Amino acid sequence: ALYRGLDSWDEVVGRIRGLHTDTLRKLTSKCEDRFMAGQKDHLRFETESWSDFRLTTGKPCCEAGDAVYYTASYAKDPLVNYAIKICRSKVKETQQQFFHSLAVRQSLAVHFNIQQDCGHFLADVPGSMLPWEEEADEEEEEEEQEEGDKKDGGDGLKESQAKSEAKSTESKRPNGESGEASAGADASAAAAGRLRSRVVVITREVPFQTVADFVRQGVSRHVQNPELYERQVCLLLLQLCSGLEHMKPYHVTHCDLRLENLLLVHCRPSNARTADPVEPNNNSAGKLAAAANSTCPARLIISNFSQAKQKSALMTSDPGALRDHSRLAPEIITATQFRKCDEFQTGILIYEMLHRPNPFEETPELKEQEYTWADLPPLPVRSLYSQGLQQLARLLLTVNPSERIRMSEARACLQCLLWGPREDLFQALGCGSASGSMSSATSGQRQATLQNWLDLKRTLMMIKFAERSMDSACGVSLEDWLCCQYLAFATTESLSRVVHILRQP
């Protein structure tokens, strides 16, 4: 059977093509296993585990929109770092909302770009770990703390539990040095009096900054090395779109996509062979620089689902609700309304990540009118990627939601911008881009060229993996994985569709 068809070149080519495709798919899934090794373990920490966590530094590792993150280690598994996420919200109602958002998020299957918690609970946190509250009214806090101590039993956590947590949290202060970080002097006694009840989430992924920080720090890099910076932006946007695309079958819409809700995590595949599984977040300066300079800056994680909407399965199964909705214009029904909301917000993020203001913040009246692409501010052309990103932003900000590009298409556009085929391939072949003059090359020729391009790219990808097997680090990078994913599932049809989308006038 192995030798059948060996006399036919066409058959051999078909088999080699099939082998390459199958292998790249297998490699993609192996990469996923490796990059998500920890995440798929389904750890669950309960309130009892709170006392087993120790901060590794007193300073937050990341300050996000909805929470502050601290690096911590878990006594029973000291080599792995965790992040302790302390939610900013103090008010009861916001906490309720938080638990709702957690429920929404937990309905999603695990995804590389969506924050996953390994347990969340209400815990008493020393004031020194809540530095942003220092400016707030001290009295109000004391009052709130008292309230927490006395009437906090309603959130599903027993008060005695919360109390015991207070003690154990206290005991970890010497290790974590958070006492030193606290602003008020004589830490142990004073801070103990200021324990505050907060929602705490344990996550495996330790963020080192938000995309907001990345963009802020990238201003000068964007000027000095626009090619690198805009490629990094594409890689981050690709991860964002992948995460959001993953939410679609669950009918979940994030609805609050902002730079400060997107976290960056240093990414190294879990590698059985590397001796040091500790991710030392301490020397974060060096890491930050490394992340800024590598092509793929980091793993992006979508966080803060407090505004997320989910079209409940009930809606269709409940005949009453179905009857009510059946007479409403589609744009009135919440689920329909929000269907393309994340796409729109992603379009805004493109502007912001390229250091341009949100067009609708700059010109609020835009939204009042049926604006066209021409009304959207142009993005300056600074790199190979600028024009493609401009086009993508327009497609995502299209006023009519049914004409607006879908998340899966946006993801495909970013893959095409990152790894090709590029415009110049088509120009080189005489099927130029200008005003859709497709006459010079037949569709069949185009398909053949795309297939050739794909065959060559897949060969190169295979070679990359083969050579990685001989690296002493045996390291497959995040970008390798993302690219492998693309090439494993691309077809000449999907490629020509994307090229067509990106070329729309």
- Interacting residues toward a second copy by CB under 8 A: 3-4, 6-9, 12-13, 15-16, 19-20, 23, 26-27, 30-31, 34, 271-275, 424-425, 428-429, 445, 448-449, 452-453, 455-456, 459-460, 462-463, 465-474, 476
CB of 430 to a second copy, least distance (A): 9
Choose among 155, 166, 87, 97: nearest CA to 126: 166
How far lies 24's CA from each of 20, 29, 101, 459, 492, in Å? 6, 9, 36, 10, 16
Specify the DSSP element, H or E, that contains 415. Answer: helix 407-419
* Nearer to a second copy (CB atom), residue 332 or residue 473: 473
* Nearer to a second copy (CB atom), residue 331 or residue 467: 467
How far lies 175's CA from each of 69, 72, 185, 289, in Å? 17, 10, 18, 27
CB of 118 to a second copy, least distance (A): 23
Burial string for 264-298 (b: 16+ CB within 10 Å, else e) reads bbbbbbeeeeeeeeebebeebeebbeebbebebbb
CB of 111 to a second copy, least distance (A): 20
Alpha carbons 383 and 359: distance in angstroms, whole number: 21
CB of 270 to a second copy, least distance (A): 10
* Nearer to a second copy (CB atom), residue 353 or residue 431: 431
How far lies 244's CA from each of 37, 226, 388, 411, in Å? 21, 26, 20, 10
* Nearer to a second copy (CB atom), residue 267 or residue 407: 267
CB of 286 to a second copy, least distance (A): 22
* Nearer to a second copy (CB atom), residue 88 or residue 268: 268
Four-residue CA torsion sign, 5, 9, 11, 14: positive
| Continuous H helices in 278-318 | 284-293, 314-317
DSSP at 442: -
Four-residue CA torsion sign, 325, 330, 331, 336: positive
CB of 300 to a second copy, least distance (A): 23
DSSP at 454: H
CB of 469 to a second copy, least distance (A): 4
What is the C-alpha R_g of the chain? 25
DSSP string, 195-257: -EEEEEEEESS-EEEEHHHHHHHTHHHHHH-HHHHHHHHHHHHHHHHHHHHHHGGGTEE----
Alpha carbons 66 and 303: distance in angstroms, whole number: 9
Question: Is the peptide bond preceding residue 421 cis, with omega within 30 degrees of 0?
Answer: yes
* Nearer to a second copy (CB atom), residue 31 or residue 262: 31
Alpha carbons 227 and 481: distance in angstroms, whole number: 21
Q: What are the tokens at 211?
A: 């995309």
* Nearer to a second copy (CB atom), residue 26 or residue 216: 26
* Nearer to a second copy (CB atom), residue 18 or residue 193: 18
CB of 450 to a second copy, least distance (A): 9
CB of 295 to a second copy, least distance (A): 18
CB of 276 to a second copy, least distance (A): 11
CB of 504 to a second copy, least distance (A): 22
* Nearer to a second copy (CB atom), residue 136 or residue 473: 473
* Nearer to a second copy (CB atom), residue 445 or residue 491: 445
User: In residues, how long is the chain?
Assistant: 505
* Nearer to a second copy (CB atom), residue 278 or residue 474: 474
